[in-house]
Amino acid sequence: MTPLLQTLRPCELDPLPAEQRWLVEGLWAQQAVGIVGGEPKCCKSFLALDMALAVASGAPCLRRYPVAQTGPVVLFAAEDPLYTVRERLESIARAAAVSFAALDIHVVTVPTLRIDIERDRQRLTDTVSMLRPRLLVLDPFVRLHRVDENAAADVAPLLAYLRGLQRHFHTAVLLVHHARKSSHVRAGQALRGSSELHAWGDSNLYLRRVREQLWLSIEHRAAPCTPALAAELHAERDAVALRIVNPQPLSETPRNAPAPPTERILQALASAAQPMTRRAVREACRMRAASVGEALTTLLDQGAIVEDIGGFRIA
């Protein structure tokens, strides 16, 4: 007879001590996997490097968020030359008033790393096993594979591998990823590719611009989410780093902004007597074809709508 799975009652499960809930208080949970996402040129890499420096040094991330647990960091920056990585980290170290030479950050120097290739996965696993980092930073996701980002069946195994690293080596994993341009949907829904990416994260950070102002949104699976905060890339003498500039939060939908494309499409489908074709949706919502396509893909991934022979309808 096959042995039963071991079980415990809820009251028998070990609680997590409060002091072990965070890696960076309020910003990143302990041993969390997650994404730093945003449109191009929104300082995603600066934020990832700031997090890496904070964990390696103990200095508050963004000069605001205390570090609860320090330790080594492994960093792979696929799109930036190594001298750029050095310059940025050195600049952030000056802004944070910490010793650049003492940073316990291990920068991976190989030109390519593909986690859809077994040899590269094994090399990354062996590196994490040897260095035992508190945080693993991979920037960006698009340079880590050759699969179709829109296909959940292709993306899920890659995310499962990274989750496996987190669980086996008790390390947090930060993945930098791009969001669609000019998207009015909620920050996490704007991530490019499969909805698996948004669902995977325990802690997710999003950077986006609203009327030229950069905003940081914070999202957690097991802790309250906070409203977006204004941020900027600040230069003072030879120190350039991100910082929070305004404690006043941004509402999820800017004032006087139109409803997100997904909401407009849901409203149109809900009021329709029969399934609507893509063209009918576009005409009813008065939206560009590209925006309709992106919003329909998002709603299909979420299971909010289905596509029949006659068109799209509410699930």
Please tell me the predicted confidence (pLDDT) of residue 187.
65
pLDDT tens track, the chain, 315 positions? 788 889 999 988 888 666 568 999 999 999 999 999 998 889 999 999 999 999 999 999 999 999 999 999 999 999 999 999 999 999 999 999 999 999 999 999 999 999 999 999 999 999 999 999 999 999 999 999 999 999 999 999 999 999 999 999 999 999 999 987 655 456 667 788 998 999 999 999 999 887 778 999 999 998 888 778 899 999 988 899 999 986 555 554 444 445 678 888 988 888 787 899 999 999 888 888 888 988 898 888 877 888 888 899 887
Please tell me the predicted confidence (pLDDT) of residue 103.
97
Please tell me the predicted confidence (pLDDT) of residue 3.
85
Please tell me the predicted confidence (pLDDT) of residue 252.
47
Domain with CATH 1.10.10 in the chain: 261-314
CATH 1.10.3470 fits 261-314, yes or no: no
Q: Domain 19-250 adopts which CATH fold? A: Rossmann fold (3.40.50)
SS3 36: strand
Contacts of 148 (CB under 8 A, 6+ apart): 154, 155
Which of 203, 100, 196 has its CA nearest to residue 150? 196
SS3 102: coil
Domain with CATH 3.40.50.300 in the chain: 19-250
The residue assigned the tokens 């609860």 is: 68
The CA distance from 97 to 182, in Å, is: 36
The CA distance from 97 to 58, in Å, is: 11
What predicted TM-score, i.e. pTM, was given to this entire model? Answer: 0.76
Please tell me the predicted confidence (pLDDT) of residue 256.
47
The CA distance from 268 to 85, in Å, is: 48
Please tell me the predicted confidence (pLDDT) of residue 245.
87
Please tell me the predicted confidence (pLDDT) of residue 19.
53
The CA distance from 167 to 169, in Å, is: 6
Q: Tell me, what amino acid is at 286?
A: R
193 neighbors 158 (Cβ within 8 angstroms): no
